Amino acid sequence: MMRDCIVCAMDTNTDVIQGTLDMLILKTLSLEPMHGFGIARRVEQISRDVFRVNPGSLLTALSRLERAGWLDSEWRETANSRRAKYYKLTRSGKRQLEAETTDWTRRAAAVARILKSEA
């Protein structure tokens, strides 16, 4: 029986919840400008490894957010002397983050109410 619990813990899904990646990127970049790898690591660290960001999904999302005008980017040298594209939140991105945070909070509260309901 104990072995089953260990297997369950190891098989825990660490995918970012569908529809939340943009919000998590915007929130992460509200703290400071970062390159893609730094964004992924920060999401993993802050979530205490509950969420893992797929690199392909991250790059697609960053391009989409930049096209929407919510992010700006520039090439810079990293701490270990490599070139990386750094992203930062725009004013429009800050407004989008506020809107998405409000919507997420509302939806999460609704799910919590449903889960707490009794038959």
pTM of the model: 0.84
CATH 1.10.40.50, applies to 13-116 = no
pLDDT of 11: 54
Q: What is the DSSP string of 50-113?
A: S-B--HHHHHHHHHHHHHTTSEEEEEEE-TTS-EEEEEEE-HHHHHHHHHHHHHHHHHHHHHHH
Mean pLDDT of 52-71: 96
pLDDT score of 85 more than 70: yes
pLDDT of 18: 78
